[in-house]
Homo-oligomer: A and B are copies of this chain.
Amino acid sequence: MAKAVKRGINMIIVLKKDATDAQIDHVVEKIKDAGLSVHISKGSERTIIGAIGDEALMASVPIEALPGVEKAMPILKPYKLVSREFQSENTIIDVNGIKIGGEKIQIIAGPCSVEGKDILVNTAKQVKAAGATLLRGGAFKPRTSPYDFQGLGEEALKYLRDAREETGLPVVSELMDPRDIELFCKYVDIIQIGARNMQNFRLLTEVGKTDKPVLLKRGMSATIKEFLMSAEYIAAQGNHNIILCERGIRTFETATRNTLDFSAVPVLKEQTHLPVFIDPSHAGGRWDLVEPLAKAAVAVGADGLLIEVHADPENALCDGAQSLKPKTFVKTMESLRKVAEAVGRTL
């Protein structure tokens, strides 16, 4: 990224009430050493210093650790390429003709983990008939316990490819390891980075080097700013086809598995040009919460949804409790269509 020189005050440094002149001079000197100039405001309570120039030059100056400094407040946002300021119009990602980020709300549906070819192809046909436009399925599963089912691996990726061939639905699967990246590029249409890997910076860098669209899930305790910084990691390598996905954050509330942060959608739509999806299945952790949360997701402005559908949830090898049966999925899609229309979109 070419770094234009940004003139104007780009960082504010507030001094302590009892900061000495020598301390103030030392701070000013550090700022100038970094290549910026200063504006000083001395008040009866506080001296504040405005640093003029490219504040990135000060990234490694531990300004808050300098004697006499109370706090330093950057003015500019730390992410650039993914910001709405960098690109004002919405990014629309074309995946085999499916337009993600446009007027039509896209639905990614399918099982938590791929368990076999027939059941997958079957499910794919059913979700397609109900209106889903992309197919999801886990090949490598991040499981909290080492003793739980870990996914079928490459075999699953092949079944996904087969399901795409039979239905035409582009496929999405989660990548957990940089060593698997070629495998994923071969078989899938969208690479998913899971919540637990949102700050696996090496993985972000690697997918940034490919040209595959990336579905980036928000970490369980990631702020919106950190979420965008992780997207920036991918974009900084040249891959701008990034879909953000809110899937619930960790809070003190235990009645639901996570707390779906719906407010993140309008906030993200304001700050970035990237498409924003919601995953109501993981957030609630219960199939009966999927429909109300999905309706709210459409109403709040999401560009798409990620919904778990399993042909036989009672016998699913993973996350059966939150999976919809195909029949329930059909009904859910019908009710989502009405809400989409009410907010001026299609589905």
The 8 Å CB contact of A65, one of B9, B223, B313, is B313
* Inter-subunit contact B284/A146 (CB<8 Å): no
* Inter-subunit contact A320/B145 (CB<8 Å): no
* Inter-subunit contact B66/A314 (CB<8 Å): yes
Chain B residues whose CB sits within 8 angstroms of the CB of A145 once the complex forms: 59, 78-79, 229, 232
* Inter-subunit contact B85/A17 (CB<8 Å): yes
The 8 Å CB contact of A261, one of B48, B176, B259, is B259
The answer to whether residues A73 and B283 also contact, given A7-B43, A201-B143 and a CB cut-off of 8 A, is: no
Q: Is A64 located at the chain interface by the 8 A CB criterion? A: yes
Closest to A195 in B: B199
* Inter-subunit contact A253/B262 (CB<8 Å): no
Q: A93 to nearest B CB, angstroms? A: 21
Chain B residues whose CB sits within 8 angstroms of the CB of A199 once the complex forms: 142, 144, 196
Q: Is A119 located at the chain interface by the 8 A CB criterion? A: no
Query: How many monomers of this protein are in the complex?
Result: 4
Per-residue B-contact encoding for A273-295, CB less than 8 Å = 1, 0 else: 00000000001101111001101
Chain B residues whose CB sits within 8 angstroms of the CB of A319 once the complex forms: 62
Closest to A234 in B: B146
Chain B residues whose CB sits within 8 angstroms of the CB of A254 once the complex forms: 223, 254
The 8 Å CB contact of A259, one of B220, B251, B322, is B251
How far is it, in angstroms, between the C-alpha of A142 and the C-alpha of B145 when the chains are bound?
A: 25
* Inter-subunit contact A4/B44 (CB<8 Å): yes
Q: A178 to nearest B CB, angstroms? A: 6
The 8 Å CB contact of A342, one of B42, B44, B266, B342, is B342
Which residues of chain A in 5-48 are interfacial with respect to chain B, using CB atoms and an 8 Å cutoff? Answer: 5-10, 12, 14, 17-18, 30, 39, 41-48
Chain B residues whose CB sits within 8 angstroms of the CB of A301 once the complex forms: 292
The answer to whether residues A43 and B259 also contact, given A236-B146, A295-B343 and a CB cut-off of 8 A, is: no
Please indicate which of the listed interface residues A41, A262, A286, A313 has the most CB atoms of chain B within 10 Å of its own CB. A262
Q: A342 to nearest B CB, angstroms? A: 4
Per-residue B-contact encoding for A221-246, CB less than 8 Å = 1, 0 else: 10111100100110010000000000
The 8 Å CB contact of A179, one of B59, B179, B201, B236, is B179
* Inter-subunit contact B197/A236 (CB<8 Å): no
Closest to A39 in B: B41
Closest to A235 in B: B146
How far is it, in angstroms, between the C-alpha of A48 and the C-alpha of B56 when the chains are bound?
A: 18
* Inter-subunit contact A142/B266 (CB<8 Å): no
8 CB contacts below 8 A, A to B, read: A4-B44, A30-B314, A60-B148, A60-B315, A62-B314, A144-B226, A223-B252, A296-B296
**The 9 nearest A-B residue pairs measured at CB:** A8-B43, A62-B320, A221-B221, A299-B299, A342-B342, A65-B321, A296-B300, A338-B342, A296-B296
17 additional A-B pairs beyond A146-B201, A220-B221, beta carbons within 8 Å, are: A5-B44, A8-B43, A64-B286, A65-B323, A144-B229, A146-B232, A146-B233, A146-B236, A177-B178, A177-B202, A219-B221, A225-B255, A253-B261, A266-B289, A266-B292, A295-B299, A296-B300
